[in-house]
């Protein structure tokens, strides 16, 4: 029985396979940045613990470790911003990626800054076993809990868009409800990067007020995360063709300022973002509202 003649291969098949391979590779790209986010969070925690160990032996070495921990949170914020944008640009958003990103944020922007604030600040400056030290544990824990609740609320709002009066569902892309957890963690990291010397190294005259201010600031950030104050998301910035050049120039200028004056620039940027939501909320309370009553 004569064998069948070999069928010629379809020249389009290798091209289709190559496209499928590229598509599968694109799905890994956002997860790679998420993994880098997790890695920076783990590094920050380990550096904070190492700095805490060195407090009684070598203050300069402890200062360097706290600075490394703060910088790691800053890099993690960059990776966190990139993974979402890359996933949307390449249309490779997956349910697995969304859940992984949220878990990464709990570690990097919840646990890591809480440990850093405790090790660098009030944990090292308060007597062991004192009521004040226990209060410091509580403040750091509540910051973590508020951050976790903030992430849970964000996920729920993203999957269940708010309903307008007309009955159509819409996601508010211009604003976040509550302070985003990366911004809260970023402010802690930016301040430690600005002044990495642990509070324990300051004299007794400044130790008590600085410790109180640090604990109060952490508590306020936790409250802001679970509040209903709206913060700009900047997701629509650069959407128009005319504004893209301006955005590119702005990013280049900010990047150069961070490279040259990172301690001042990062603290100013993050502090301005955290404060702008509060300022807008206060301004809205005093905004003139015309009466709708008939005269």
User: What confidence tens digit (pLDDT) does each residue in 181-240 have?
Assistant: 999 999 999 999 999 999 888 877 778 888 889 999 999 999 999 998 989 877 666 555
Of 24-28, 69-73, 94-98, 160-164, where does mean pLDDT reach its minimum?
160-164
Per-residue pLDDT band for 157 (boundaries 50, 70, 90) equals confident
For residue 164, the model assigns a pLDDT of 41
Of 45-49, 197-201, 268-272, where does mean pLDDT reach its minimum?
197-201
pTM: 0.81
Per-residue pLDDT band for 30 (boundaries 50, 70, 90) equals confident
Q: In this model, does residue 294 exceed pLDDT 60?
A: no
For residue 142, the model assigns a pLDDT of 94
For residue 179, the model assigns a pLDDT of 92
* Residue 266: HSE in the Cβ half-sphere, 13 Å Cα cutoff: 26
For residue 283, the model assigns a pLDDT of 85
For residue 113, the model assigns a pLDDT of 95
Per-residue pLDDT band for 70 (boundaries 50, 70, 90) equals very high
Q: What is the mean pLDDT of the chain?
A: 81
Three state DSSP letters for the chain: CCCCCCCCCCCHHHHHHHHHHHHHHHHHHHHHHHHHHHHHHHHHHHHHHHHHHCCCCCHHHHHHHHHHHHHHHHHHHHHHHHHHHHHHHHCCCCHHHHHHHHHHHHHHHHHHHHHHHHHHCHHHHCCCCCHHHHHHHHHHHHHHHHHHHHHHHHHHHHHCCEECCCCCEECCCCEEECCCHHHHHHHHHHHHHHCCCCHHHCCHHHHHHHHHHHHHHHHHHHHHHHCCCEEECCCCCCCCHHHHHHHHHHHHHHHHHHHHCHHHHHHHHHHHHHHHHHHHHHHHHCCCCCCCCCC
For residue 168, the model assigns a pLDDT of 47
Tokens of 84: 């979402």
For residue 248, the model assigns a pLDDT of 80
Nearest to 189 by CA among 259, 127, 267: 267
For residue 227, the model assigns a pLDDT of 92
Domains of the chain: 24-161+173-285 (1.20.120)
For residue 161, the model assigns a pLDDT of 57
User: When comparing pLDDT for 189 and 122, which is higher?
Assistant: 189
């Amino acid at each position: 029985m004569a064998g069948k003649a070999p069928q010629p291969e379809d020249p389009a098949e290798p091209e289709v396979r190559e496209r499928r391979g590229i598509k599968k590779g694109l799905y890994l790209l956002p997860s790679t940045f998420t993994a880098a986010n997790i890695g920076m969070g783990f590094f920050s925690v380990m550096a904070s613990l190492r700095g805490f160990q060195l407090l009684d032996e070598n203050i300069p070495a402890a200062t360097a470790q706290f600075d490394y921990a703060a910088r790691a949170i800053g890099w993690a914020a960059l990776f966190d911003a990139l993974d979402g944008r890359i996933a949307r640009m390449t249309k490779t958003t997956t349910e697995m990626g969304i859940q992984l990103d949220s878990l990464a944020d709990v570690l990097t922007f919840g646990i890591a800054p809480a440990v850093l604030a405790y090790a660098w600040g009030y944990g090292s400056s308060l007597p062991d076993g004192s009521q004040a030290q226990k209060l410091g544990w509580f403040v750091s824990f509540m910051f973590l809990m508020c951050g976790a609740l903030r992430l849970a609320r964000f996920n729920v709002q993203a999957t269940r868009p708010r309903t307008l009066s007309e009955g159509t569902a819409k996601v508010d892309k211009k604003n976040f409800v509550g302070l985003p957890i990366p911004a809260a963690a970023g402010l802690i990291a930016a301040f430690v990067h600005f002044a990495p010397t642990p509070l324990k190294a300051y004299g007794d005259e400044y130790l008590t007020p600085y410790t109180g201010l640090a604990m109060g600031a952490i508590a306020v950030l936790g409250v802001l995360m679970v509040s209903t104050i709206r913060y700009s998301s900047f997701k629509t910035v650069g959407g128009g063709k005319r504004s893209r050049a301006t955005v590119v120039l702005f990013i280049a200028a900010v990047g150069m300022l961070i490279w040259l004056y990172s301690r001042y620039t990062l603290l100013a940027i993050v502090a301005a973002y955290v404060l702008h939501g509060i300022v807008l909320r206060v301004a809205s309370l005093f905004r003139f509202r015309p009466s709708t009553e008939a005269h």
